[in-house]
Amino acid sequence: MAIEICVKAAVGAPDVLGDCPFCQRVLLTLEEKKVSYKTHLISFDNKPEWFLEVNPDGKVPLIKFDDEKWVSDSDVIVGILEEKFPEPSLSTPPEFASVGSKIFPKFVAFLKSKDANDGSEQALLDELKALDEHLKKNGPYVNGEKISAVDLSLGPKLYHLEVALGHFKKWTVPESLADVHNYTKLLFARESFAKTKAPKEEYVIAGWAPKVNA
């Protein structure tokens, strides 16, 4: 089966894989399932005509299987991949599917916050503590010993959190959240993760800079 995928190119480096956590989630799924694919890097400063023709809203990730239509939205894409390539299974039990799902919006709110007393830091800490407690009981991954779709969604977001908050706010996840630290180490050490993340932290920082300085 021929698979083509459009993902974000790095800011200022159109030939380098960019920093989109939703693109990375799909690439991680393909890598973990050992599926071969062809990548198109899409520069957001200069989106190609053909890309906008098949995808007028200009969003990534975008995927195509054989001669079927292009499909967008990482949730939808990951669902299709699980259906088409059931082995190894990455499905997450429904009761664990939303674990950590509020971390990313809380991270973005804290990152963009200009007021130290607006509660955004505490809101993020509360979500990280909830993840830590879940991992303490069920870890090392969200669904125990085996990596699943929820981890592949969370991993890229936690990477962004670590790089962007470290750079813009000199903030790190508290050491007391040992299970979260262990979890990120496990995820970031995977071959699939190294292969699909933006190759330099600067690309992640460049991606967030306009939102932080807005």
From first to last of the 214 residues of the chain, give the pLDDT tens digit: 899 999 999 999 999 999 999 999 999 999 999 999 999 999 999 999 999 999 999 999 999 999 899 999 999 999 999 999 999 999 999 999 999 999 999 999 999 999 999 999 999 999 999 999 999 999 999 999 999 999 999 999 999 999 999 999 999 999 999 999 999 999 999 999 999 999 999 999 999 999 998 8
Cα–Cα distance, 2 to 121 (Å, whole number): 44
Question: Distances in Å between the alpha carbon of 23 and those of 82, 109, 196?
Answer: 16, 21, 9
Place of tokens 């809203």: 57
Give CATH 3.40.30.10 domain extents, the chain.
3-84
Domain with CATH 1.20.1050.10 in the chain: 94-212
The SS3 of residue 62 is strand
CA distances from 44 to 7, 13, 19, 22, 41 (A): 10, 11, 12, 15, 10
What span, in angstroms and rounded, lies between the C-alpha atoms of 214 and 210? 6
CATH superfamily for domain 3-84? Glutaredoxin (3.40.30.10)
The whole-number pLDDT of residue 17 equals 97
3-state SS assignment for residue 129: helix
Dihedral (CA of 111, 115, 116, 118) sign? negative
Query: Out of 20, 27, 62, 63, which one is annotated catalytic?
Result: 20
Condensed to tens digits (0 to 9), the pLDDT of residues 97-128 reads 999 999 999 999 999 999 999 999 999 999 99
CATH topology of domain 94-212: Glutathione S-transferase Yfyf (Class Pi); Chain A, domain 2 (1.20.1050)
Tokens 């159109």 correspond to 14
Nearest to 10 by CA among 208, 213, 211, 214: 208
Assigned token pair, 1: 């089966």
Assess whether the previous peptide bond of 156 is cis (omega < 30° from 0). Answer: no
For residue 20, indicate whether it is catalytic: yes
pTM of the model as a whole: 0.96
pLDDT for res 214: 80
**Residue count (the chain):** 214
- Judge contact between 110 and 121, C-beta under 8 A: yes
Cα–Cα separations (whole angstroms), residue 8 to 72, 171, 183, 196, 197? 13, 26, 26, 12, 11
User: Which tokens belong to 57?
Assistant: 């809203």
